[in-house]
Amino acid sequence: MTTGIAWEEPFCGEGNNCFRIGTDAEGNAYIAVAGQEEHHLTDSRDALRALIRDIKAGKADHLL
């Protein structure tokens, strides 16, 4: 597992892969498939907040 990243517990949808969100001391945010944390996406915590807000606002509903 990548060091320096504090990973949250996995979030799992029914029948889907489990995703993990993590942060580090430098203000970066990470998203990875659980068990594959070494292959993560990295951006700022502000970008992660914006992504979560947009998903909650329904901007990704067309993907369902």
Residue 1 has a pLDDT of 46
Average pLDDT over residues 27-49: 94
How many residues are there in the chain?
64
Average pLDDT over residues 8-16: 84
Residue 36 has a pLDDT of 94
Residue 35 has a pLDDT of 92
Distance of alpha carbon 14 from alpha carbon 43, whole angstroms: 27
Distance of CA 61 to the CA centre of its chain: 17
pTM: 0.77
Residue 2 has a pLDDT of 53
Distance of alpha carbon 35 from alpha carbon 2, whole angstroms: 11
Average pLDDT over residues 9-13: 89
Average pLDDT over residues 18-23: 94
